[in-house]
Amino acid sequence: MTELNIVYGSLESLLPEVRAYVTSKANLCRPDRVHICDGSPAEFKLLIDAMERTRTIKKLDADRFENCWLVDTDVRDIARVESKTFICTKNVDDTVSETKYGALSKLGNWMSVESMDFLLTRKRFPNSMAGRTMYVIPFSMGPVGSPLSKIGIQLTDSAYVVTCTRIMTRVGKPVLDYLQSHPDTKFIRCLHSVGRSIGMMMSWPCDPDNTVIAHFPERNEICSYGSGYGGNSLLGKKCFALRIASTLARDEGWLAEHMLILGITNPEGKKKFIAAAFPSACGKTNLAMLQPTIPGWKVECVGDDIAWMRYDDEGNLRGINPEAGFFGVAPGTSMKTNPYCMKSLHKDTVFTNVAYTSDGGVYWEGMDEEVDLDSVHVTSWDGRHWTPESSFTAAHKNSRFCTPANHLETIDPAWEDPKGVPIAAILFGGRRPDTVPLVFESFDWTHGVFVGSSMRSMTTAASLEGVVKRVQHDPFAMRPFFGYNFGHYVQHWLDVGKKPNAKLPKIFHVNWFRTEKVPGAHDHNKRKERYLWPGFGENCRVLEWIFRRTDEEDVAIKSPIGYIPKPDALSLDGLHEPVKVDKLFAVHKDEWMNEVGKIREYFDEQIGSHMPKEIVTELDKLEERVKAM
Ligand code: GTP
Ligand code: SPV
Ligand code: MN
């Protein structure tokens, strides 16, 4: 065992258990230096200096972008890598179902603890931090000290990861102090290394061929090797707050979900909170920050990506946002689509893989009116001169901003309330070009759990594997994020609904992405489709209907798939262009027979006997109703 070279902070500030963790991983990864993070401004300066030395980071024009930075990654390290993300448990059954045909389900990627330990401690991590600094980040998911919060210690050799984690979570001294005064606190061990940088870019070392992201729910540990990007490296986010937390939630009787939380106030001043689960890059951030187009309504943001929800003593399901920042999709974000967000991106923000303008600003697809493309040169995220005529995109499709939540003008006053906010409705949704109407309401909790279980959505660039567009199953928008067997997860949701005296949220499904073919587009290869619904701020019209339904207002009629708005119940006054309501709400028998078939096939192939009977019964009932159409 060698002496650690501590260059910032002191080992003594750490609990003995944390110290032992740091020492053992430092002995494995062999960093040159160890920096124990305190979250201070002085530390921020050191991080920026380190990234400027390696040319990882570029400062944006300080007049317009106060303390804002641009980072471009290696071209192979641009999104989550689902195929290299594993859950490691003693029993296979705890992680994945065996399908009807005896194979392992694709919902969850299992590897044995022994094999993964061997791979990590013998092949990946030895010496992986040589020449670099190991940062020790004590962080809290959720307000420090809240009964709903959890603590993690992340070790990483990436200054970029530290910088983003300082935005995305609560870090440093308050967490260390909390641990000192609560020495029995369980913490999640999070080890991250960008990998041995043989022949790679100095500005963005990574090891894409050998990337592996491993979770050990039985020992509260995460190990991530080879990638510095997003959900692969900011371990508090998907790895901890969803995969590990969903397992803790199962054991402790609560829910950890891929959901935004928003507060919505009607013109009479009545306020409710809504949670919504859409797959990656399907609209959570935009809905959470929505600027309503109908007068008198207000929407405020509690969180944009993850919700931890638990019953209080009165039987209300209360949710917190465990994060402290937004790691949001840049392309498509504009003053038109998401003005509150745009305004908050001018301070303390780190942009990753967006394009750079010659006047020290940023650019991405969809931002056209904000940048005068005639007067600036644009350099694409991968360093090429870009013009609107270019055959490649200026920003990477999964480029992101990382910005503190408390800079958002519409951040909800209760967003850091340690008790959380009471959830009145849960929305599921996805990108469905056909079949699924703009909104429908489930008949009851069990039917709602079925709706979540049978969600499908178009793949997106948020995953390395999602580049080719196709509709895939994505139950609960959690397909890449389940920490345990999906069949058990569904059972857990059913159990949550059976709690005595529970004031259960109503469950809805929304789809902003239904399309129609553009008339006159005859060339099949160039078939153009157009969204039937304007989306963004106009989505408040759907929220209004949902709000009224949570008050049991008589504004719905029964359809074979759920309740839909009565004719004229959806407020359409003031829309810029008329919408084709019939097409938006059409429920076609042939499409739904196909849907039922796809769901049944999926349940059989991916969940098999682990699927709770009640959910299979819901599918049978749906089939009966559709057949009777
Ligand atoms: P993750 O951060 O990956 O979890 O994504 P997200 O679910 O927060 O999605 P986000 O709100 O960032 O939206 C992703 C993309 O969808 C962006 O390009 C948005 O501009 C676009 N989008 C969001 N809402 C709508 C909408 O209502 N209609 C349409 N047409 N596009 C939308
Ligand atoms: C997602 O993919 O759902 C994200 C971005 O929110 S990442 O942090 O990369 O997981
Ligand atoms: Mn997400």
pLDDT tens digits for range 557-596: 999 999 999 999 999 999 999 999 999 999 999 999 999 9
Q: How many Å lie between the centroid of ligand 1 and the Cα of residue 86?
A: 27
Q: Which atom of ligand 1 is nearest to the CA of 536?
A: 27
Retrieve residue 592's tokens: 């739904």
How buried is 555 (Cβ within 10 angstroms: 0-12 exposed, 13-18 middle, 19+ buried)?
Answer: middle
Q: Whose CA is nearest to atom 18 of ligand 1?
A: 332
At 540, is the secondary structure helix, strand, or coil? Answer: helix
Look at residue 518 in the predicted model and tell me its pLDDT.
Answer: 86
Q: Which atom of ligand 2 is nearest to the CA of 234?
A: 8
Look at residue 594 in the predicted model and tell me its pLDDT.
Answer: 98
Would you say residue 99 has pLDDT above 90?
A: no
How buried is 52 (Cβ within 10 angstroms: 0-12 exposed, 13-18 middle, 19+ buried)?
Answer: middle
At 507, is the secondary structure helix, strand, or coil? Answer: strand
Among the bound ligands, the one closest to the CA of 433: 1
Domains and CATH numbers, the chain: 6-56+82-253 (3.40.449.10), 257-325+410-627 (3.90.228.20), 327-403 (2.170.8.10)
Give residue-wise pLDDT tens across range 50-84.
999 999 999 999 999 999 999 999 999 999 999 99
Whether the CB of 531 sits within 6 Å of ligand 1: yes
Ligand 2 pocket test, candidate residues 73, 80, 457, most atoms within 8 A of CB: 80
Question: pLDDT-based confidence at 359, cuts 50/70/90?
Answer: very high
Q: How many Å separate Cα 445 from the centre of its chain?
A: 24
Is 503 in contact with 314 (CB distance < 8 Å)?
Answer: yes
Query: How far is residue 597's CA from residue 525's CA, in Å, rounded to a whole number?
Result: 28
Look at residue 468 in the predicted model and tell me its pLDDT.
Answer: 81
Among the bound ligands, the one closest to the CA of 532: 1
Would you say residue 199 has pLDDT above 70?
A: no
Kindly report the pTM of this predicted structure: 0.98
Secondary structure of 225-239 as H, E, C letters: ECCCCHHHHCCHHHH
Would you say residue 198 has pLDDT above 70?
A: no
Query: How far is residue 166's CA from residue 160's CA, in Å, rounded to a whole number?
Result: 10
Query: How far is residue 386's CA from residue 350's CA, in Å, rounded to a whole number?
Result: 21
Question: pLDDT-based confidence at 201, cuts 50/70/90?
Answer: confident
Give residue-wise pLDDT tens across range 386-445.
999 999 999 999 999 999 999 999 999 999 999 999 999 999 999 999 999 999 999 999
Query: How far is residue 525's CA from residue 427's CA, in Å, rounded to a whole number?
Result: 35
Look at residue 488 in the predicted model and tell me its pLDDT.
Answer: 97
Is 68 in contact with 346 (CB distance < 8 Å)?
Answer: yes
Q: Percentage of residues in the chain with pLDDT exceeding 90?
A: 93
Query: How far is residue 224's CA from residue 482's CA, in Å, rounded to a whole number?
Result: 17
Look at residue 1 in the predicted model and tell me its pLDDT.
Answer: 60
Question: pLDDT-based confidence at 467, cuts 50/70/90?
Answer: confident
Look at residue 188 in the predicted model and tell me its pLDDT.
Answer: 98
* Helix, strand, coil fractions of the chain, as percent rounded to 5: 30, 25, 45
Look at residue 622 in the predicted model and tell me its pLDDT.
Answer: 98
Would you say residue 331 has pLDDT above 70?
A: yes
Residue 402 is among the residues annotated as catalytic for this protein: no
Q: Name the active-site residue from 282, 301, 341, 402.
A: 282
Q: How many Å lie between the centroid of ligand 2 and the Cα of residue 11?
A: 32
Whether the CB of 331 sits within 6 Å of ligand 1: yes
Q: How many Å lie between the centroid of ligand 3 and the Cα of residue 588?
A: 31
* Cβ count near 451 (within 10 Å): 24
Give residue-wise pLDDT tens across range 121-144.
999 999 999 999 999 999 999 999
Q: How many Å lie between the centroid of ligand 3 and the Cα of residue 74?
A: 21
Q: Which residues of 567-603 are buried (b: 16+ CB within 10 A; e: fewer)?
A: eebbbeeeeeeebebeebbebeeeebeebbeebbebb
Is 466 in contact with 480 (CB distance < 8 Å)?
Answer: no
Ligand 1 pocket test, candidate residues 282, 368, 514, 533, most atoms within 8 A of CB: 282
Look at residue 148 in the predicted model and tell me its pLDDT.
Answer: 93
Would you say residue 172 has pLDDT above 70?
A: yes
Whether the CB of 341 sits within 6 Å of ligand 1: no
The residues that bridge with 473 in the sheet, in sequence order, are 456
Give residue-wise pLDDT tens across range 370-382.
999 999 999 999 9
Q: How many Å lie between the centroid of ligand 3 and the Cα of residue 195?
A: 25
Using a 6 Å CB cutoff, which residues line ligand 2?
80, 230-231, 237-238, 280, 305, 327, 462
Q: Whose CA is nearest to atom 10 of ligand 1?
A: 283
β-pair type (133-141, 515-517): unpaired
Give residue-wise pLDDT tens across range 479-527.
999 999 999 999 999 999 999 999 999 999 999 999 998 876 555 555 6
| C-alpha torsion sign, points 271, 277, 280, 283 | negative
Would you say residue 203 has pLDDT above 60?
A: yes
- 67 backbone φψ class: left, alpha, beta (φ>0; ψ -120 to 50): left
Amino acid identity of 428?
Answer: F
7 contact partners, CB below 8 Å, separation of at least 6: 33, 34, 35, 133
Q: How many Å lie between the centroid of ligand 3 and the Cα of residue 282?
A: 9
Among the bound ligands, the one closest to the CA of 480: 2
Query: How far is residue 558's CA from residue 462's CA, in Å, rounded to a whole number?
Result: 36
Q: Mean pLDDT score of the chain, rounded to an integer?
A: 96
Look at residue 523 in the predicted model and tell me its pLDDT.
Answer: 57
Look at residue 101 in the predicted model and tell me its pLDDT.
Answer: 77
Ligand 1 pocket test, candidate residues 80, 261, 329, most atoms within 8 A of CB: 329
Look at residue 196 in the predicted model and tell me its pLDDT.
Answer: 83
